[in-house]
Structure 1
Amino acid sequence: MMGHSHAVSGALLFAGTAPYLPPVLLHTHLQPQEILMGTVLCAGAALLPDLDHHDGTIANFLGPVSRLLCRFVAWISGGHRHATHSLLFVALMAVGTWAGIAHVGRPFTLGMCFFLLTMAVRALNLCPPGHGFHAWGTIVAMAALGTAAIAKFIPAAPGWLPYVVGLGCLAHLLGDSITKQGAPWLWPLKRRYEVVLIKSSGNKLETEMLTPLMGAGTIALLWLTVLAPHPLR
């Protein structure tokens, strides 16, 4: 799946589960502004497993810094679609986010929001095309503005942020599992799991049907949960 599709799938999964799973898992009901923030941040989190792709679109979301980061992650994880495409990685990202919030506090929270926003801006094509400064400089500026806006509403220790990160990573695994390359959910076991619906990334089924449908679904769900007079709660 393309990065754009992964981001939209993360947004859809969060928007669809926000009224239901957080009350069960976190014993809290998310406020409308938290659902909106979570939807955007989950779009970014859905790109986290592809930090092992040193030559992909996401490798350039922070210019030379992200290229070095992705090369390092690819090296320690065994290459693309290995360790970072597993349930172990999902758990590590969620628990790591919880630990950062618990032990570092607001600086970690805002830093994570900025990091997720940079990936969301890149994947959702909200910046100029290309890999030069005009692209990643715009990404940094937009993510900084978004983080400043989020800082006005987000608490120092948002219990829902680890959920956002874990759910985004899970959305990525689900997306890759409908391609013929599959995903090694149970890594370090090598078996890959797939139900092939997309035979090649970026084909018409993905870009002209699946991704637009997921985008429309996300907007519809946000309307029902956040904007409608009688939200689903």
Structure 2
Amino acid sequence: MMGHSHAVSGAMLYAASAPFLPPLLLHTHLKPADILLGTVLCAGAALLPDLDHHDGTIANFLGPVSKLLCRFVAWISGGHRHATHSLLFVALVGGGTWAGVTYLGRPFTLGMTFFLLALAVKALRLHVPGEGHTTWLSVLGLSAVGTFVLDRWMPAAPGWLPYAVALGALAHLLGDSLTKMGAPWLWPHKQRYEIVLIKRSGNDVETKVLVPIMTVATFALLWFTAVEPAVIS
């Protein structure tokens, strides 16, 4: 799947699950603001498994810095769609985010927020068009402003942030499992799992059917789970 599709799928899964899974898994009910913030950050987290792709959407979101990062991750993970496209990676990024929020505090939370916002801005194409330095500088600027704004609304130690990160990574695996290449969910076991609905990334099924449906579903879910409750209260 394309980066844009992964981001939309992450946003939709978070918006759909926010009223149900956090109370079950985290023993807390999310406020409307937490649902809105988490939806945006989960969209960015849905790009994380592609840290192993030196030429994907994620490789270009922070210019030469992200290019170098992706080449390094590809090297240590065995290449594209290997270690980072597994349940082990989902557990690592979720657990790592929990540890960062718990033990490193606000600096980690804001740094992670900036990183995920940058991914979301790039994947959802909210930046200056193109691939040059003007583009990634606009991603930097928008993400910095967004982090400053979210800092005023985000809890001191958001317990939902690890959940959003893990769910975003899981959404990516689900999306890639709809393609011919599949995903090695049980890595280091090398078998890839797939139910092929998208024969080629970026085809009409993905861009003209799945993405519009997921986009409309996300906004509808946010209206009923976050916007309407906030207006009523």
3-state DSSP of counterpart to 2:28: coil
Structure 1 residue 103: Cα displacement: 1.2
* 2:192 paired with 1:192: yes
Residue in 2 that maps onto 1:5: 5
Residue in 1 that maps onto 2:219: 219
Give the Cα–Cα distance (whole angstroms) in 2 for the partners of residues 211 and 153 of structure 1.
Answer: 29
Give the Cα–Cα distance (whole angstroms) in 1 for the partners of residues 227 and 32 of structure 2.
Answer: 8
Cα distance change, pair 207–157 in 1 and its aligned pair in 2 (3 A)? same
Q: Deviations over 1:190-210 (max 9, x none)?
A: 000000000000000100110
Structure 1 residue 113: Cα displacement: 0.3
Residue in 2 that maps onto 1:64: 64
Unaligned residue ranges in structure 2 (runs of 5+): none
Structure 1 residue 227: Cα displacement: 1.8
Decide which moves more: 151-160 or 3-12.
151-160
Structure 1 residue 58: Cα displacement: 1.6
Residue in 2 that maps onto 1:115: 115
Letter in 1 for 2:33: Q
3-state DSSP of counterpart to 1:195: coil
RMSD: 1.1
Letter in 2 for 1:38: G
* 2:90 paired with 1:78: no
Q: Percent identity?
A: 70
Q: Deviations over 1:11-65 (max 9, x none)?
A: 0000000001000100101111110000000000000000100011220100000
Q: Deviations over 1:186-229 (max 9, x none)?
A: 00000000000000000001001100110000000001111225
Give the Cα–Cα distance (whole angstroms) in 1 for the partners of residues 229 and 96 of structure 2.
Answer: 37
Give the Cα–Cα distance (whole angstroms) in 2 for the partners of residues 14 and 27 of structure 1.
Answer: 16
Residue in 1 that maps onto 2:228: 228
* 2:156 paired with 1:156: yes
3-state DSSP of counterpart to 2:126: coil
Q: Deviations over 1:143-165 (max 9, x none)?
A: 01110111011122111100000
Letter in 1 for 2:125: N
* 2:4 paired with 1:18: no
Structure 1 residue 97: Cα displacement: 0.3
**Residues 32 and 229, structure 2, Cα contact 8 Å, conserved in 1:** no
Equivalent runs, 1:46-65 vs 2, <5 Å: 46-65=46-65
Give the Cα–Cα distance (whole angstroms) in 2 for the partners of residues 84 and 230 of structure 1.
Answer: 37
* 2:210 paired with 1:210: yes
Structure 1 residue 132: Cα displacement: 1.1
Q: If the length of structure 1 is used for normalisation, what is the TM-score?
A: 0.97
Give the Cα–Cα distance (whole angstroms) in 2 for the partners of residues 227 and 154 of structure 1.
Answer: 17
3-state DSSP of counterpart to 1:113: helix
The ranges of structure 1 where at least 4 consecutive aligned residues each deviate by more than 4 angstroms after the TM superposition are none
Give the Cα–Cα distance (whole angstroms) in 2 for the partners of residues 229 and 86 of structure 1.
Answer: 36
Equivalent runs, 1:90-169 vs 2, <5 Å: 90-169=90-169
